[in-house]
Amino acid sequence: MITLVTGGARSGKSTFAESLYRDMEDVVYIATSRVWDEEMKERIKLHKESRPSHWRTYEGNYTLTKALGEERNYILDCITLLTSNIMFDVAKDIEYIDFKLQKEIEDRVWEELHSLIKAIEERKYNLVMVTNEVGFSLVPDNHIGRV
């Protein structure tokens, strides 16, 4: 089964996703966040400490299928950071992303997600994907926010 957990920033999405597998032994946590400042470093540390120690963690943004093993239950946390990381890796000037570059970013995100979902389905594994809700509010006033 594939489940999508969405909600606002810092709304408890990760905690909820983790609770779905809390009593399971064979869980892999696919973490897409990167440490870019002390606050994020602390958030990552707290996230790791809150998870059961027997869960395996895979950290990365590319070739997510490398996270797959014998375990049957996976959490991808999160699609928003996966997208942001790919965007920052691909864009030379983050202030200006034209439609061609936007399409390249979308294609790379889609490729990662599609490959992971396909592999999960083929193996009949379970996947919970976490993402931020970004489309139900005001249109961002800056280009990066709209990408």
What CA–CA distances, in Å, run from 34 to 17, 26, 82, 113, 127?
19, 24, 10, 18, 21
Cβ–Cβ < 8 Å for 128, 72: no
d(CA 144, CA 147): 5
**What backbone torsions phi and psi does residue 120 show, to the nearest 5 degrees?**
-60, -45
Is the peptide bond between 78 and the residue preceding it cis, with omega within 30 degrees of 0?
A: yes
Annotated catalytic residue within 47, 54, 114, 143: 47
47 catalytic residue (yes or no): yes
Secondary structure E strands in 64-103:
73-77
Q: Which two tokens stand for residue 7?
A: 């909600």
Q: Which residues does the annotation mark as catalytic? A: 47
